[in-house]
């Protein structure tokens, strides 16, 4: 029996500053200045101003700054984008953070969005709260944090052209214009840790690779003296790699034995390898043996230099070249290399060399603590234990238990994980029961397979999540269900689906909120859970068009708000509510049938005196040529009839009782015989 020799190895860590601070915008020179174009408010389409610093003190005594106005009436997503874009790209391939100086007269937040990545990076959005009032403060945005928007990628490793700013993102206009200032948008250097996986200088950092796919199949590589100790690589030993005369396009070699140190890609790290080749070709890197169950990952990078050492780096956020085409994540135990991947043997042995397989990342992942409080009082079945099960513990049914120390039905506990995006659920008694979601909740998403819907958790700092109810995004008693019922009004449904969309809360057509006609009655439905008091603009779309080109057109109709893209408006919801209407129409039922639908629309039927409504009521003035009994309907913004009155045929006026109604947008419809008309009323 062989004895195992246990070797204590020393992990090679080198801290390296990757890049100096780079100024993107400081508004002091034409090259470092631009304007920002407003959107999502009455300022839509106009440009901001660059003005003299209103408070040249503290950390910012510069002459010129950017001025940002959030008008009295503004969407929760109102902001401004650079127009034109800065002359300097926001380069996060090495820099790991972005800072912005802000001056605000209140405690709120600044949200930064980066768009237009020339290297294919996903748009990135994240928020940082300010902590100072009426003085300059520097806010720092960590590029390794997952974006707040799908596909929730980090910005690390990418370059961006456009800068978008949102002051007080998530908060609508307050009724007064709010002015803030910003300056000095810069990228900050990353102090990163370089971890040596293989350098062939010590037994702990060396190994051999076993060939496959060629006449060398089953044999091992050689470690030799560096054939060209110059330039970026003067080390003593390197690995020699031979691609024989006859070789498959996929010929390569895998580590055997595997390296003593796994390839850990946590925290946005990348893998870099030094190569020496006598021709222009490529090196493909494949990582196998994930410690977290992630699929194998392979990608290719071309070399650019001949007969000299060159370092090439592999971005783990790039989708794998092989199914299931996912990015790399976590740690891998096996390294596989392919020189000239995709090219068969050329008829001559081709010799190349590699050295210094290292991981360059943001240092050892800094674990963050997330605290949970789960209210189980509404769950009536018997259970003994409550757990948090998710992607951070391989969906274990007993790895992260919660406790109810106060015996009040509130189960508490925590997890400690690195920055990242995770999915999870609350489970009971080792998966005897679990939360079940529809996929339309604000705190959930459907997994790539389409089979499972889980809670979504973005970790970028220590945090305590708001207490939530089992099977809900909100505290017990705070959830309402909004059922949207939509008749198609004679329009053929698109084969790509019918969608609830828009308003800053319901995604794009083709996104999260697809409606269904499960019973085949021609009425499309969706039920959306939301927190009590939820209100929003919204629309419907016939088709999956992310640019909203297939959205319904309500221009000129009373239920379409011209100041908000002719979207509909859902007033604050305090209980379970059904919204019934028709595509591209303002019906108050999904059957698209009403007495008015077969009548004659006549604006002479009535006018409104006192709009917005006066405290003593609103007067309806009937037309001089109107005779007969009048039917008066008051309809709220979600299409519900909140009042109905009959007015005698001789009456010339009617005072509408509105004093006790909540403030909001309503519609008044008057029907006289076969004539009718509807007008908007603001209370």
Cα–Cα distances in Å, from 464 out to 69, 416, 479, 579, 681? 32, 12, 20, 35, 43
Cα gap 354→128, rounded to integer Å: 43
Decide: helix, strand or coil at residue 393: helix
Among candidate residues 287, 311, 327, 332, the one with its CA nearest the CA of residue 120: 327
Provide the pLDDT confidence category of residue 19 given band limits of 50, 70 and 90.
Answer: very low
Q: Is residue 596 pLDDT above 50, yes or no?
A: no
The pLDDT assigned to 11 comes to 39
Q: Is residue 368 pLDDT above 90, yes or no?
A: no
- Rounded to an integer, the average pLDDT of 576-582 is 92
Q: Which two tokens stand for residue 45?
A: 């389409």
Q: Is residue 604 pLDDT above 70, yes or no?
A: yes
Per residue in 26-64, pLDDT (tens digit) is 999 999 999 999 998 999 999 999 999 999 998 898 999
Q: Which of 70-84, 238-252, 445-459, 608-622 has the lowest mean pLDDT?
A: 608-622
Decide: helix, strand or coil at residue 384: coil
Walk me through the domains of the chain, giving residue ranges and CATH numbers: 19-189 (2.60.120.430), 193-361 (2.60.120.260), 368-469 (2.60.40.10), 479-582 (2.60.40.10), 600-682 (2.60.40.3080)
Cα gap 263→265, rounded to integer Å: 6
Q: Which two tokens stand for residue 439?
A: 């996929």
- Of residues 8 and 231, the one with the higher pLDDT is 231
The pLDDT assigned to 12 comes to 44
The pLDDT assigned to 637 comes to 65
Instruction: Tell me the pLDDT of the chain averaged across its residues.
Output: 88
The pLDDT assigned to 269 comes to 78
Cα gap 671→649, rounded to integer Å: 12
Provide the pLDDT confidence category of residue 638 given band limits of 50, 70 and 90.
Answer: low
Longest dimension (CA), the chain: 111
Q: Is residue 658 pLDDT above 80, yes or no?
A: no
The pLDDT assigned to 133 comes to 94
Per residue in 415-463, pLDDT (tens digit) is 988 767 789 999 999 999 999 999 999 999 887 677 899 998 878 678 8
The pLDDT assigned to 2 comes to 28
Q: Which of 281-290, 386-395, 493-502, 660-669 has the lowest mean pLDDT?
A: 660-669
Beta strands in 509-652 (DSSP E): 514-515, 523-531, 536-542, 568-570, 577-582, 600-601, 606-614, 617-622, 630-636, 641-647
- Rounded to an integer, the average pLDDT of 612-626 is 77
DSSP 33-84: ---EEEESSTTTT-B-EEEE-SS-BTTB--SEEEEEEE-SS--TT-EEEESS
**pTM of model > 0.85:** no
- Rounded to an integer, the average pLDDT of 141-151 is 86
DSSP 593-604: --GGGGSEE-GG
Q: In b/e form, how buried is each residue of 25-43, taking b as 16+ CB within 10 angstroms?
A: bbbbeeebebebbbbbbeb
Cα–Cα distances in Å, from 573 out to 532, 570, 638? 6, 8, 9
- Rounded to an integer, the average pLDDT of 245-251 is 93
Q: Do the beta carbons of residue 670 and residue 676 sit within 8 Å? A: yes
Per residue in 308-344, pLDDT (tens digit) is 999 998 988 777 888 887 888 888 999 999 999 999 9
Provide the pLDDT confidence category of residue 217 given band limits of 50, 70 and 90.
Answer: very high
Cα gap 281→275, rounded to integer Å: 11
Percent with pLDDT over 90 in the chain: 59
The pLDDT assigned to 678 comes to 84
The pLDDT assigned to 87 comes to 94
Q: Is residue 203 pLDDT above 80, yes or no?
A: yes
The pLDDT assigned to 21 comes to 74
The pLDDT assigned to 107 comes to 94
- Rounded to an integer, the average pLDDT of 495-507 is 92
Q: Is residue 15 pLDDT above 50, yes or no?
A: no
If you search the block for the tokens 């020699």, which residue do you land on? 240
């Amino acid at each position: 029996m062989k004895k195992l020799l246990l070797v204590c190895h020393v992990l090679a860590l080198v801290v390296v500053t990757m890049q100096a601070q780079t100024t993107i915008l400081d508004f002091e020179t034409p090259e470092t200045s631009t304007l920002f174009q407003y959107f999502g408010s009455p300022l839509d389409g106009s440009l901001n101003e660059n003005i003299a610093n209103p408070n040249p003190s503290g950390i910012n005594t510069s002459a010129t700054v950017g001025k940002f106005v959030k008008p009295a009436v503004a969407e929760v997503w109102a902001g401004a984008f650079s127009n034109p874009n800065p002359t300097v790209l926001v380069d996060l391939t090495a820099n790991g953070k972005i800072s912005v100086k802000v001056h605000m007269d209140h405690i709120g937040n600044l949200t930064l969005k980066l768009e237009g990545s020339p290297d294919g990076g996903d748009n990135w959005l994240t928020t940082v709260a300010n902590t100072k009032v009426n003085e300059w403060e520097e806010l720092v945005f960590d590029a390794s944090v997952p974006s707040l928007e799908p596909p929730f990628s980090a910005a690390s490793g990418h370059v961006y052209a456009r800068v978008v700013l949102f002051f007080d993102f998530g908060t609508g206009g307050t009724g007064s214009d709010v002015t803030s200032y910003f300056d000095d948008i810069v990228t900050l250097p990353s102090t990163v840790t370089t971890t040596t996986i293989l350098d062939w200088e010590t037994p702990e950092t060396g190994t051999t690779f076993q060939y496959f796919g060629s006449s060398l199949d089953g044999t091992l590589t050689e470690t030799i003296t560096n054939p060209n100790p110059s330039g970026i690589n003067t080390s003593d030993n390197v690995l020699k790699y031979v691609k024989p005369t006859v070789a498959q396009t996929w010929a390569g070699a895998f580590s055997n034995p595997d390296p003593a140190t796994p390839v850990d890609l946590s925290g946005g790290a990348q893998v870099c390898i030094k190569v020496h080749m006598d021709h222009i070709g490529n090196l493909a890197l494949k990582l196998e043996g994930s410690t977290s169950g992630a699929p194998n990952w392979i990608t290719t990078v071309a070399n650019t230099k001949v007969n000299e050492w060159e370092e090439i780096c592999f971005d783990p956020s790039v989708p794998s070249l092989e199914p299931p085409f996912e990015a790399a994540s976590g740690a891998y135990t096996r390294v596989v290399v392919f020189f000239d991947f995709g090219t068969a043997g050329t008829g001559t042995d081709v010799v190349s060399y590699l050295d210094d397989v290292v991981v360059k990342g943001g240092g050892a992942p800094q674990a963050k603590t997330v605290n949970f409080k789960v209210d189980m009082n509404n769950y009536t079945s018997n259970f003994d234990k409550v757990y948090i099960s998710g992607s951070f513990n391989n969906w274990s049914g007993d790895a992260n238990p919660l406790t109810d120390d106060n015996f009040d039905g509130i189960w508490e506990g925590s997890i400690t994980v690195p920055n990242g995006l995770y999915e999870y659920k609350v489970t009971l008694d080792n998966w005897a029961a679990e939360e079940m979601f529809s996929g339309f909740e604000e705190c959930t998403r459907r997994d790539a397979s389409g089979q499972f819907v889980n809670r979504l958790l973005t970790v970028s700092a220590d945090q305590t999540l708001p207490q939530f109810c089992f099977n809900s995004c909100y505290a017990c008693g705070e959830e309402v269900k909004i059922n949207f019922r939509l008749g198609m009004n004679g329009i053929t449904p698109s084969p790509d689906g019918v969608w609830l969309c828009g308003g800053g809360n319901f995604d794009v057509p083709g996104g999260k909120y697809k409606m269904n006609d499960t019973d085949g009655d021609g009425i499309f439905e969706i039920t959306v859970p939301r927190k009590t008091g939820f209100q929003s603009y919204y629309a419907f779309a016939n088709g999956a068009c992310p640019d909203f080109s297939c959205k319904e057109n309500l221009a000129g109709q009373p239920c379409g708000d011209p100041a908000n893209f002719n979207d509909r408006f859902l007033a604050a919801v305090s209980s379970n509510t059904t919204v019934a209407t028709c595509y591209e129409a303002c019906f108050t039922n999904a059957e698209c049938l009403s007495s008015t639908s077969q009548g004659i629309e006549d604006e002479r039927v009535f006018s409104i005196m006192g709009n917005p409504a006066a405290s003593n009521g609103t007067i309806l003035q009937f037309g001089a040529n109107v005779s007969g009994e009048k039917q008066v309907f008051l309809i709220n913004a979600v299409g519900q009839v909140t009042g109905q009155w009959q007015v005698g045929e001789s009456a010339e006026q009617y005072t509408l009782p509105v004093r006790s109604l909540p403030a909001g947008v309503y519609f008044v419809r008057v029907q006289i015989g076969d004539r009718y008309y509807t007008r908007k009323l603001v209370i």
